[in-house]
Each structure stands twice: as C-alpha cells, then as structure tokens.
Amino acid sequence: MGNPTDPAASSSPACRAIRPEDAEALSRFFERLRAQGVEKFFHPHPFTAEEAAKRAADTGRDFYCLLTQENEIMGYGMLRGWDAGYAIPSLGIVIDPGAQGHGHGRRLMEFLHTTARQRGASHIRLKVYLENIRAMTLYRSLGYVFQSEEGGQAVGLLALTPTNAASQKESAE
C-alpha cells in the first residue's frame, strides 16, 4: 500500500477527469502547446483560454481529462462524439512536448480506453496524420487498425477488449 505522504508517490503521473478549477492551468498548458507548434498534428479545437474554460466546465457526455504530475498538467485527452449522438467516441491526446517519450502518452491512452469501456463503448476511433510517426507507432502498438482516410488523416479503430482496456486503476470519476 502506498504512503500518500511519500514524495516519490506524490510525484507519480496520474490521470483524472477535468474539473472546473483546472481552467487557468489548462489555458497555460494550451499556450505552451501553441508556442511549440503542436497544432500542426493535433487540432481538436483552438488552444485558447476560452476553450480551456469551456472544456473545464463541460458537463456533457463527452469526456475530457488530464495527466498531471506534481500538480502540473503534462497531458490532455478526450473522448468526444457521445454528445453528438455517436456510439463510438473519437479519442484525442496530447502530451507536453517537453515531457514526451516518458510513457505519458501510453498511460493516458490506457486511461481513456478504460473510461470508454466503463461507459459501454465497444470501439474507439481516432484520426492521425501518417507523418506523425510517434503517434502512429503508439496507436498501432495499442491495437488500432487503420483502414480508411478522412481529411488527409488515417482513421484508426480499436475494438475494446478486457485486455486492452482494463490495465489502469485510476478512476474517471
């Protein structure tokens, strides 16, 4: 059993649903993404303060979440489409460019898979540019299958199974 006062434990990355009080920190995170040109590969919505406030306050069926470490936002993820009436949610993630390559992307993906499964989804879809090698490698390693294209991006589909969705203990609540 982990000790909550253990500094090593408190610095572990953790995934959780977004909260209204995250708006300001999310806005600063979006600023960092813009400054580093992340929008070239990932543009689910404008990375503005206004959007940060909207996402943090969202109470719909779509799901927005964060990966944090020592209270810093290191990653942002989403499952969208439920509000629009789709049964299969579309996944999107981004990790702070300064923190990529340390397993955060994989962790956030697994958290989103678990959340989608808990909410009854049978599949997850996503779109990715073919030249986004890092993301493509990650998605393929997680079992996404790419068979079509939309707006210049490959469309990936993952069939959720107990093995690809149940490895995270973190809760979406």
Ligand X SMILES: CC(C)(COP(=O)(O)OP(=O)(O)OC[C@H]1O[C@@H](n2cnc3c(N)ncnc32)[C@H](O)[C@@H]1OP(=O)(O)O)[C@@H](O)C(=O)NCCC(=O)NCCS
Residue numbers at the binding site for ligand X (CB under 6 A): 38, 41-42, 93-95, 100-106, 126, 128, 132-135, 137-138, 141
Residue pair 144/136 in contact by the 8 Å Cβ criterion: no
| Residue 56 or 91 with smaller CB distance to ligand X | 91
Closest distance to ligand X from the beta carbon of 131 (Å): 10
Rounded CA separation 108/146 (Å): 20
| Residue 37 or 162 with smaller CB distance to ligand X | 37
Closest distance to ligand X from the beta carbon of 20 (Å): 24
Residue 132 tokens, joined: 């986004």
| Residue 57 or 136 with smaller CB distance to ligand X | 136
| Residue 141 or 171 with smaller CB distance to ligand X | 141
| Residue 88 or 138 with smaller CB distance to ligand X | 138
| 31 burial level (CB within 10 Å; 0-12, 13-18, 19+) | middle
Residue 159 tokens, joined: 């069939």
Comparing CA positions, the residue from 43, 77, 172 lying closest to residue 118 is 172
Q: Which residues make beta-bridge pairs with 156?
A: 126, 146
Q: For the stretch 105-144, what's the b/e string if a residue is b when 16 or more beta carbons lie within 10 angstroms of its beta carbon?
A: bebbbbbbbbbbbeeebeebbbbbeeebeebbebbeebeb
Closest distance to ligand X from the beta carbon of 123 (Å): 17
Closest distance to ligand X from the beta carbon of 93 (Å): 5
Closest distance to ligand X from the beta carbon of 56 (Å): 19
Rounded CA separation 36/161 (Å): 35
